[in-house]
Amino acid sequence: MEKSYRNIGKIVSAFGLKGDLIVLHHLGKKIAVSKIKVIFLEQKKDELLPYFVENIRKKADNELYLKLEGIGSKEDATKFLRRDVWLNEEEIQIHTHKNNPIGWVGYRILDQGKDLGPILEVIEQPHQILCRIELDTKEVLIPINEQTLDKVDHKTKTVLLSLPDGLLDVYLG
Protein backbone atom coordinates (compact mmCIF):
# COMPACT_ATOMS: atom_id res chain seq x y z
CA MET A 1 0.00 0.00 0.00
CA GLU A 2 1.38 3.39 -1.01
CA LYS A 3 1.61 5.91 1.80
CA SER A 4 0.10 9.34 1.39
CA TYR A 5 1.78 12.48 2.64
CA ARG A 6 0.54 15.95 3.39
CA ASN A 7 2.40 19.24 3.20
CA ILE A 8 2.31 20.82 6.64
CA GLY A 9 4.47 23.89 6.05
CA LYS A 10 7.86 25.22 5.09
CA ILE A 11 11.28 25.73 6.67
CA VAL A 12 11.63 29.51 6.89
CA SER A 13 14.77 30.10 8.93
CA ALA A 14 17.79 28.68 10.69
CA PHE A 15 17.95 29.39 14.41
CA GLY A 16 21.02 29.51 16.62
CA LEU A 17 24.40 27.94 15.93
CA LYS A 18 23.59 24.25 16.39
CA GLY A 19 21.44 23.66 13.30
CA ASP A 20 17.94 24.32 14.62
CA LEU A 21 15.30 25.21 12.04
CA ILE A 22 12.11 27.24 12.23
CA VAL A 23 9.10 25.75 10.47
CA LEU A 24 6.05 27.81 9.55
CA HIS A 25 3.20 25.28 9.67
CA HIS A 26 -0.55 25.03 9.18
CA LEU A 27 -1.28 22.23 11.63
CA GLY A 28 -3.39 24.42 13.89
CA LYS A 29 -2.96 25.22 17.56
CA LYS A 30 -3.90 21.84 18.99
CA ILE A 31 -1.15 19.47 17.91
CA ALA A 32 1.07 17.17 19.95
CA VAL A 33 4.35 18.11 18.27
CA SER A 34 6.56 16.30 20.78
CA LYS A 35 5.35 12.97 19.37
CA ILE A 36 6.53 13.68 15.80
CA LYS A 37 9.55 11.48 15.17
CA VAL A 38 10.00 11.68 11.38
CA ILE A 39 9.37 14.41 8.82
CA PHE A 40 9.81 14.28 5.07
CA LEU A 41 11.52 16.90 2.92
CA GLU A 42 11.27 17.14 -0.84
CA GLN A 43 14.66 16.57 -2.44
CA LYS A 44 13.44 16.71 -6.03
CA LYS A 45 9.97 17.05 -7.52
CA ASP A 46 7.81 14.24 -6.06
CA GLU A 47 10.75 12.71 -4.15
CA LEU A 48 10.42 12.83 -0.36
CA LEU A 49 13.23 11.76 1.96
CA PRO A 50 12.73 11.01 5.67
CA TYR A 51 14.57 13.00 8.33
CA PHE A 52 14.56 11.93 11.97
CA VAL A 53 13.52 14.51 14.53
CA GLU A 54 15.98 15.02 17.37
CA ASN A 55 13.89 17.71 19.06
CA ILE A 56 10.73 19.63 18.21
CA ARG A 57 8.81 22.24 20.18
CA LYS A 58 6.32 25.03 19.63
CA LYS A 59 7.61 28.54 19.02
CA ALA A 60 4.20 30.11 18.34
CA ASP A 61 0.76 28.94 17.23
CA ASN A 62 2.00 28.48 13.67
CA GLU A 63 5.76 28.05 14.16
CA LEU A 64 7.97 25.24 15.43
CA TYR A 65 11.59 24.90 16.45
CA LEU A 66 12.91 21.76 14.75
CA LYS A 67 16.21 19.96 15.28
CA LEU A 68 16.95 17.13 12.85
CA GLU A 69 19.50 14.37 13.33
CA GLY A 70 22.69 15.00 11.35
CA ILE A 71 22.31 18.78 11.18
CA GLY A 72 24.78 20.25 13.64
CA SER A 73 25.57 23.77 12.47
CA LYS A 74 23.91 26.88 11.14
CA GLU A 75 25.64 26.27 7.81
CA ASP A 76 24.12 22.77 7.58
CA ALA A 77 20.70 24.17 8.47
CA THR A 78 20.73 26.86 5.77
CA LYS A 79 20.80 24.15 3.08
CA PHE A 80 17.21 23.28 4.09
CA LEU A 81 15.72 26.78 3.89
CA ARG A 82 12.52 27.19 1.85
CA ARG A 83 11.93 23.43 1.67
CA ASP A 84 8.43 22.13 2.14
CA VAL A 85 7.86 19.90 5.16
CA TRP A 86 5.67 16.82 4.79
CA LEU A 87 4.16 14.36 7.26
CA ASN A 88 2.75 10.93 6.74
CA GLU A 89 -1.07 11.13 6.59
CA GLU A 90 -1.49 8.71 9.50
CA GLU A 91 0.81 10.85 11.66
CA ILE A 92 -1.33 13.92 11.07
CA GLN A 93 -4.44 12.05 12.17
CA ILE A 94 -2.67 10.75 15.30
CA HIS A 95 -1.08 14.02 16.42
CA THR A 96 -3.81 16.54 15.67
CA HIS A 97 -6.86 17.17 17.83
CA LYS A 98 -10.03 15.74 16.26
CA ASN A 99 -11.52 19.24 15.93
CA ASN A 100 -8.43 20.58 14.15
CA PRO A 101 -9.54 21.47 10.60
CA ILE A 102 -6.42 19.93 9.02
CA GLY A 103 -7.92 16.55 9.94
CA TRP A 104 -10.94 17.27 7.71
CA VAL A 105 -9.07 16.35 4.51
CA GLY A 106 -11.08 13.51 3.01
CA TYR A 107 -14.31 14.54 4.78
CA ARG A 108 -17.25 15.25 2.46
CA ILE A 109 -18.82 18.70 2.27
CA LEU A 110 -22.61 18.83 2.33
CA ASP A 111 -24.28 22.14 1.46
CA GLN A 112 -27.84 22.00 2.80
CA GLY A 113 -27.86 18.24 2.18
CA LYS A 114 -26.25 18.34 -1.30
CA ASP A 115 -22.94 16.43 -1.46
CA LEU A 116 -20.28 18.68 -3.02
CA GLY A 117 -17.46 16.14 -2.73
CA PRO A 118 -14.41 15.44 -0.60
CA ILE A 119 -12.17 18.09 0.94
CA LEU A 120 -8.82 17.98 -0.88
CA GLU A 121 -7.01 20.63 1.16
CA VAL A 122 -7.62 22.84 4.19
CA ILE A 123 -6.23 26.39 4.13
CA GLU A 124 -6.34 28.17 7.49
CA GLN A 125 -6.61 31.95 7.49
CA PRO A 126 -7.02 34.34 10.45
CA HIS A 127 -10.81 34.77 10.23
CA GLN A 128 -11.92 31.68 8.34
CA ILE A 129 -10.91 28.37 6.92
CA LEU A 130 -10.99 27.58 3.21
CA CYS A 131 -11.61 24.03 2.03
CA ARG A 132 -10.46 23.20 -1.48
CA ILE A 133 -12.70 20.82 -3.38
CA GLU A 134 -13.15 19.90 -7.03
CA LEU A 135 -16.63 20.42 -8.43
CA ASP A 136 -17.45 19.75 -12.09
CA THR A 137 -13.67 19.51 -12.82
CA LYS A 138 -13.11 23.02 -11.39
CA GLU A 139 -11.23 23.98 -8.23
CA VAL A 140 -13.57 25.56 -5.68
CA LEU A 141 -12.61 27.22 -2.38
CA ILE A 142 -15.36 26.87 0.23
CA PRO A 143 -15.26 29.35 3.16
CA ILE A 144 -15.84 27.81 6.58
CA ASN A 145 -16.79 30.36 9.23
CA GLU A 146 -19.51 31.07 11.80
CA GLN A 147 -22.04 31.94 9.09
CA THR A 148 -21.49 28.89 6.87
CA LEU A 149 -20.66 26.03 9.29
CA ASP A 150 -23.59 24.08 10.69
CA LYS A 151 -21.81 21.00 12.04
CA VAL A 152 -18.77 18.74 11.69
CA ASP A 153 -19.79 15.09 12.00
CA HIS A 154 -16.69 13.03 12.75
CA LYS A 155 -18.58 9.72 12.73
CA THR A 156 -19.76 10.14 9.13
CA LYS A 157 -16.76 12.30 8.15
CA THR A 158 -18.91 15.14 6.83
CA VAL A 159 -18.86 18.92 7.14
CA LEU A 160 -22.41 20.29 7.05
CA LEU A 161 -22.71 23.82 5.63
CA SER A 162 -25.22 26.45 4.60
CA LEU A 163 -23.43 28.36 1.84
CA PRO A 164 -24.67 31.76 0.64
CA ASP A 165 -26.76 31.72 -2.53
CA GLY A 166 -24.62 32.21 -5.63
CA LEU A 167 -21.27 31.31 -4.06
CA LEU A 168 -20.79 28.17 -6.17
CA ASP A 169 -21.97 30.03 -9.30
CA VAL A 170 -18.87 32.24 -8.99
CA TYR A 171 -16.74 29.15 -9.70
CA LEU A 172 -19.06 27.23 -11.99
CA GLY A 173 -20.82 30.03 -13.91
User: What is the SS3 assignment for 73?
Assistant: coil
What distance in Å separates the CA atoms of residue 45 and residue 165, rounded to the nearest whole number? 40
Is pLDDT of 1 > 60?
Answer: no
Q: Which domains does the chain have, with CATH numbers?
A: 5-95 (2.40.30.60), 101-172 (2.30.30.240)
What does the pLDDT read at residue 102?
Answer: 76
Q: What is the pLDDT of residues 57-94, one digit of tens each?
A: 988 878 899 999 999 999 999 999 999 898 887 777 66
Contact (CB, 8 A) for 109 and 167: no
What distance in Å separates the CA atoms of residue 23 and residue 12, rounded to the nearest whole number? 6
What does the pLDDT read at residue 25?
Answer: 83
45: left (phi over 0), alpha (psi -120 to 50) or beta: beta
Mean pLDDT of 14-27: 90
Mean pLDDT of 134-155: 91
Contact (CB, 8 A) for 34 and 85: no
Mean pLDDT of 32-47: 83
pTM for this entry: 0.65
What does the pLDDT read at residue 76?
Answer: 93
